[in-house]
Amino acid sequence: MPPAPIEDSEEFRIFLDELGEMVELTEANLVELEKSPGDPGLISEVFRAMHTIKGGAATLGLEDGVKVTHAMETLLDEVRSGSRQLDSSMVDLLFSVLDWLKVWRDALSAGLSHPSPVSLLESIEEFSSSGALGPGPKRTAAVSGAWESETSLPPPLKEAIESALARGKTPAVLKVRFRRGAPLLSVRAYQVITYADEIADVLGSVPSAEDIEKDAVGEELSVYFVPAEKGDALVGAVSSVTDVSSASVEPVGLQGSTEAGASHRSPEELQSLAHHTGGGGRPVPEEPATALEISAGSSGGGRGSVAQGGPQTQRQGEAAPGHSGDASTGTGEGSKQAGTPTPANDAPVVRKTDLGRTVRVDVSLLDFLMDTVGELVIQRTRLTQIASKLQAEDETAAAGQDIGTLAAHLQRISQELQEGIMRARLLPLKNIFAKFPRLIRDLSAKCGKQVRFEMTGEDTELDRTVIEAIDDPLIHILRNAVDHGIETPEERRKKGKPPEGLIRLSAWHQENHVLIQVEDDGAGVDVEKVKEAAVKKGLMSREAVSNLDEKQALELIFLPGFSTAEKPTEVSGRGVGMDVVRENLQRVNGTVEVRTRRGHGTTVSLRLPLTVAIMRALLVLAGGWVYAVPTSSVEEVVDFSGKTLQTIQGKPTIVVRGRVFPLVSLQGVLEGDMWNVGKSCQYALLTRNGKNLMALAVDDLIGEEEIVVKEMGRLLSRVRGVAGATILADGDPAIILDVNYLV
CATH of the domain at 282: 3.30.70.1110
Q: Is 708 exposed, middle or buried (0-12, 13-18, 19+ CB in 10 A)?
A: buried
- Note the Cα 470 to chain centre separation in Å: 12
The residue among 64, 56, 45 whose CA lies nearest residue 19 is 56
C-alpha to C-alpha distance for 360 and 10, rounded to whole angstroms? 11
pLDDT greater than 90 at residue 500: yes
Q: What is the pLDDT of residue 490?
A: 93
- The contacts of residue 623 (CB under 8 Å, 6+ apart) are 666, 667, 670, 671, 699
pLDDT greater than 50 at residue 452: yes
Say yes or no: 309 and 163 in one domain.
Answer: yes
Domain count, the chain: 5
Residue type, 292: L
pLDDT greater than 70 at residue 460: yes
What is the DSSP code (8-state) at residue 588?
T
Say what the alpha-carbon torsion angle 48, 52, 58, 62 is, to the nearest 10 degrees: -110
Q: What is the pLDDT of residue 508?
A: 92
Largest Cα–Cα separation, the chain? 101
Say yes or no: 598 and 690 in one domain.
Answer: no
pLDDT band at 446, cuts 50/70/90? Answer: confident
Tens digit of pLDDT for each residue in 629-665?
A: 888 788 889 888 767 678 888 888 888 888 888 888 8
Question: What count of other Cβ atoms lies within 10 Å of the Cβ of residue 470?
Answer: 23
The reply to whether 240 falls in a domain is yes
Say what the alpha-carbon torsion angle 393, 398, 400, 402 is, to the nearest 10 degrees: 170
C-alpha to C-alpha distance for 221 and 187, rounded to whole angstroms? 12
pLDDT greater than 70 at residue 31: yes
Residue 709 near residue 664, CB atoms below 8 Å: no
Residue 688's H or E segment, with its range, is strand 683-689
Across the range 676-681, mean pLDDT stands at 80
- The contacts of residue 625 (CB under 8 Å, 6+ apart) are 734, 735
Characterize 329-340 residue by residue with b for buried, 16 or more Cβ atoms within 10 angstroms of its Cβ, and e for exposed.
Answer: bbbbeebbeeeb
pLDDT greater than 70 at residue 277: no
Say yes or no: 450 and 599 in one domain.
Answer: yes
Question: 654-661, long-range: CB within 8 Å, 24+ apart, which pairs?
Answer: 654/684, 654/695, 656/686, 656/695, 659/693, 660/693, 661/686, 661/693, 661/694, 661/695
Specify the range with the lowest mean pLDDT, choosing from 388-392, 596-600, 727-731: 727-731
Say yes or no: 471 and 595 in one domain.
Answer: yes
Q: Is 35 exposed, middle or buried (0-12, 13-18, 19+ CB in 10 A)?
A: middle
What CATH number is attached to the domain comprising 643? 2.30.30.40
pLDDT band at 518, cuts 50/70/90? Answer: very high
What CATH number is attached to the domain comprising 108? 1.20.120.160
Q: What is the pLDDT of residue 714?
A: 57
Mean pLDDT over the full length of the chain:
75
The reply to whether 339 falls in a domain is yes
The residue among 700, 703, 738 whose CA lies nearest residue 588 is 738
Domain limits at 733? 614-741
What is the DSSP code (8-state) at residue 709?
-
Q: What is the pLDDT of residue 706?
A: 79
- 651: which strand partners? 648
pLDDT band at 146, cuts 50/70/90? Answer: very low
Say yes or no: 300 and 382 in one domain.
Answer: no
Say yes or no: 486 and 625 in one domain.
Answer: no
How big is the chain, counted in residues? 743
- Note the Cα 557 to chain centre separation in Å: 28
Q: What is the pLDDT of residue 716?
A: 60
The residue among 354, 315, 305, 294 whose CA lies nearest residue 467 is 305
Most confident of 47-56, 95-104, 355-364: 95-104
C-alpha to C-alpha distance for 262 and 199, rounded to whole angstroms? 18
The reply to whether 165 falls in a domain is yes
Say yes or no: 635 and 703 in one domain.
Answer: yes
β-pairing, 500-510 vs 513-520, is: antiparallel
pLDDT greater than 70 at residue 289: no
Return the half-sphere exposure (C-beta side, CA atoms, 13 A cut-off) of residue 431.
Answer: 29
- What is the DSSP track for 28-81? HHHHHHHHSTT-HHHHHHHHHHHHHHHHHHHHTT-HHHHHHHHHHHHHHHHHHH
Domain final position from 324, 351, 378: 351
The residue among 199 and 166 whose pLDDT is bigger is 199
What CATH number is attached to the domain comprising 384? 1.10.287
Say yes or no: 511 and 419 in one domain.
Answer: no
- Number of DSSP helices (H) and strands (E) in the chain, helices first: 23, 26
β-pairing, 683-689 vs 634-639, is: antiparallel
Say yes or no: 264 and 342 in one domain.
Answer: yes
pLDDT greater than 50 at residue 144: no
- Note the Cα 322 to chain centre separation in Å: 19
- The contacts of residue 336 (CB under 8 Å, 6+ apart) are 319, 320, 323, 324, 325, 326
- What is the DSSP track for 249-318? EEETTSTT---TT-EEE-HHHHHHHHHHTTSSSSPPPSS---EEEEE-S-SSS---BEE---TTPPPTTP
- 175: which strand partners? 222, 248
- 562: which strand partners? none
Instruction: Please state, in angstroms and as integers, the Cα–Cα distance from residue 465 to each residue in 428, 471, 716, following that order.
Output: 12, 10, 19
The residue among 146 and 605 whose pLDDT is bigger is 605
Characterize 277-291 residue by residue with b for buried, 16 or more Cβ atoms within 10 angstroms of its Cβ, and e for exposed.
Answer: beeebebeeeeeeeb
The reply to whether 390 falls in a domain is yes
C-alpha to C-alpha distance for 734 and 604, rounded to whole angstroms? 33
Specify the range with the lowest mean pLDDT, choosing from 323-327, 541-545, 593-597: 323-327
The reply to whether 550 falls in a domain is no
The reply to whether 706 falls in a domain is yes
pLDDT band at 349, cuts 50/70/90? Answer: low
Residue 575 near residue 557, CB atoms below 8 Å: yes
Instruction: Please state, in angstroms and as integers, the Cα–Cα distance from residue 680 to each residue in 408, 683, 700, following that order.
Output: 35, 9, 9
The residue among 506 and 192 whose pLDDT is bigger is 506
Residue 383's H or E segment, with its range, is helix 363-391
Residue 175 near residue 148, CB atoms below 8 Å: no
- The contacts of residue 12 (CB under 8 Å, 6+ apart) are 6, 60, 108
Tens digit of pLDDT for each residue in 361-371?
A: 777 787 788 77
Say yes or no: 262 and 155 in one domain.
Answer: yes
C-alpha to C-alpha distance for 700 and 639, rounded to whole angstroms? 10
Q: What angle do CA 389, 392, 398 make, to 5 degrees?
A: 95
Q: What is the pTM of this model?
A: 0.57
The reply to whether 559 falls in a domain is no
Across the range 259-282, mean pLDDT stands at 43
The reply to whether 1 falls in a domain is no
Say yes or no: 368 and 439 in one domain.
Answer: no
Residue 520 near residue 481, CB atoms below 8 Å: yes
pLDDT greater than 60 at residue 299: no
C-alpha to C-alpha distance for 236 and 165, rounded to whole angstroms? 25
C-alpha to C-alpha distance for 393 and 587, rounded to whole angstroms? 44
Across the range 674-702, mean pLDDT stands at 82
The residue among 503, 478, 518 whose CA lies nearest residue 605 is 518
Say yes or no: 314 and 192 in one domain.
Answer: yes
